[in-house]
Chains A and B, each alone.
Chain A
Amino acid sequence: ETGVTQTPRHLVMGMTNKKSLKCEQHLGHNAMYWYKQSAKKPLELMFVYSLEERVENNSVPSRFSPECPNSSHLFLHLHTLQPEDSALYLCASSRGARTEAFFGQGTRLTVV
């Protein structure tokens, strides 16, 4: 395990459902990230939280809503998703100004 834990590992949801992805890091880091990984495309940064404050929102549709209640936990709330949102969603964390990020195993999301 990398120290970054994501649940669930797999999720299938209908377009009208509401679900949440959870991420927990045990590394003492103070920055957390959500990335989207689609086939044949680079990882896309979605959101960044530093010290529980959102510092970046990369033009992500409002059907994705992040929440960071403390420096160890990060959520991604999902509602009314589209089939093109099907992808691997990766959580990562880093230690502030140091830029190497450590990733979780991801949640494989399928929207039907």
Chain B
Amino acid sequence: QKEVEQDPGPLSVPEGAIVSLNCTYSNSAFQYFMWYRQYSRKGPELLMYTYSSGNKEDGRFTAQVDKSSKYISLFIRDSQPSDSATYLCAMSAGGGSNYKLTFGKGTLLTVNP
């Protein structure tokens, strides 16, 4: 079983739709969770950062972490064509000298006008 599983898509939605992106993981030591957005030919851009379980909201974006199910989600409300990108989940056990981020493969999202 891979440490982090993420459906690569592609996912295509109409403008204004609610988008749900998900990752599952197997390492119960993970406690820091991130979502990155990567536009074509660009580096990943940090979108959301959460620690442990719970929800975090930032504008149209909501990140959810359910550590009991080892499942994280990113919701995008009122999706826009500018949201079209690859979304990468990443996670880490963090702390001390553990610098390693483990990434999912990324989900390619297209929002159609």
Contact = CB atoms under 8 A, between A and B. Distances in A.
Interface of A: 2, 4, 6, 31, 33, 40-43, 45, 48, 50, 55-56, 90, 94, 97, 99-106, 108
Contacts of B94: 97, 99
Chain B interface residue number, banded: 20 to 34
A50 B103 CA distance: 20
B34 interface: yes
B99 A48 contact: yes
A48 B99 CA distance: 8
A99 B92 contact: yes
Contact of B105 (A31, A42, A105): A42
B46 A100 contact: yes
A42 B34 contact: no
Contacts of A45: 100-101
Among all A-B residue pairs, the 7 with the closest Cβ atoms: A103-B43, A43-B103, A99-B94, A42-B103, A99-B92, A105-B43, A99-B32
Interface string B14-57: 00000000000000000010101000011111100100000000
Given A48-B99, A90-B43, A103-B43, A42 B8 contact: no
